[in-house]
Structure 1
């Protein structure tokens, strides 16, 4: 069994959709980022890659690479799962904690 830890943080800006775990929240600001800025998906990607010793999100999906501009983080997560499968890994469980100053969830 391997365990990985991921962490991500983004500041909020106007004119961006707020994506969290692939869900668009109704909020006037969203996370600044090169992709869609989904911090939950990014943290999970980093945890999975770290557990498999396959680097990190920046290695596989570097900011500045035009193919990842405004990319769906859920698509990046799918690609990450494909990388893990190719390396012989199977994900059995993901546990996450979301901490936000805003918006309020619940």
Structure 2
């Protein structure tokens, strides 16, 4: 009978040791996961502070920026060209751009 008790005791000890070892490994994994979570949380808080600073500075810049749009309506009323390609205004502009005959320097 003592051999049966010894066998049951051995099975209980093996199962108990196996369970305790599992709990120990789980606690190590949990500690590592907690450390990673704390590091990620600290990183996110740092990034959040940086983002808030950036947003406040962008808001300051945007308040100084002003966009002014002005529309000017201009209706040009000119006759449709029938026989002439250039009107009097166009001839005046072209003639104003041409060098005058007496002002050209010769390279003789």
What band does the TM-score fall into relative to the shorter chain? under 0.3
Which protein, 1 or 2, shows the higher relative CO under an 8 Å CA cutoff with sep ≥ 6? 1
TM-score computed with the length of structure 1 as normaliser: 0.21
The structure with more helix, counted as a fraction of residues: 2
The structure with more strand, counted as a fraction of residues: 1
